[in-house]
Amino acid sequence: MATDDMDALESQASALFEKRDGFNKERETRIRERDRFNESVKELQAKARNAKAERDGVNARVAELKGRLGGLRERLEAKREAAGEIHDENDESRGRLRPRWRLLEELREIEWELSTTPTLEIKDREAELIERAKHLKTQVEEHRKLDTRDDMYLMSLADSNAVGMEIRKIREEMDGLRETGQEHHERMLAFYRQADEERKRSDEAHKKFVEALESLREVNAELDKIIPELKKIRKLSQDEARFLAEKRNKVMAEKKKELAEEARLKLEAGEKLSLDEMKLIYGEE
């Protein structure tokens, strides 16, 4: 009966040891998976932080350009306003003046008359003609001043165009930077999404690790119950086997002694002995 119990317990223990080995392998596998996923999470988070830093750098440059753009727009508005004022004032001033060609033509006529008319004939009108010529020269000078202001207008317009070109250049750079910043932003989000997926896999591996560990504890708990009982039965079995062996040896010794006595009686009676009977008498195995 003890042997049957021992066989049953040994079979049960063997199955539990096999389970324990499987759970140990599962636990080690899940630990490696969890550590690999955690390392992947760290790498992806580092990449995401780098992408974020690049995006923030681009955004800082965009903000800087935006500030410059505001100043340039103010400059452009001021230059356009100044150019418009010059243009309007020149148009208004020229509107009050006679055409330059008429003034010059009349001035040449007066100068011709003063230089070609005899003094006696022009004496009465000379002062008037000189005064008229002076007035005409003043108006021609006004045209010259307006020409200078026209140059100022053109220069102001050229400055406005230069500022406008700079504004367009900055806008183009800002557009390119915004596109680059958006790319960095999308890369950052993609890395964070990948990190989240890897973290989920890590959590799942850790969950399975915990499950394997719990199963391992349960198996060990069952083994803790079986092993002492198995040792006890084994000890009882060994004691029983030793008792039976001793009993068998005792019976054999008595039987051997009995056979040896019978062989001696036969020898004393002059009967022929077999080889085994001779061995019994002379003590050979």
Token readout for 277 is 């009977």
For residues 12 and 226, is the Cβ–Cβ distance under 8 A? yes
Residue positions counted in the chain: 285
Q: What is the pLDDT of residue 120?
A: 66
The closest of 145, 128, 30 to 89, measured between CA atoms, is: 145
CA nearest to 47, candidates 186, 178, 202, 181: 186
Give the pair of three-digit tokens for residue 7: 């066989």
**Left if phi > 0, otherwise alpha if psi is -120 to 50, otherwise beta: which for 270?**
left
Per-residue pLDDT of the chain (285 residues; tens, 9 = 90+): 456 666 776 777 777 778 778 888 888 888 899 999 999 999 999 999 999 999 999 999 988 888 888 887 777 777 777 766 666 676 666 667 677 788 788 788 877 877 777 776 667 777 887 888 888 888 777 778 767 776 676 677 777 778 788 888 988 988 999 999 999 999 999 999 999 999 999 999 999 888 888 888 888 888 777 777 767 766 665 655 565 666 677 767 777 777 777 777 777 777 777 777 667 666 644
Residue 97: its H or E element: none
DSSP alpha helix (H) spans, 97-118: 100-116
| 0.75 surpassed by pTM | no
Max Cα distance, the chain (Å): 213
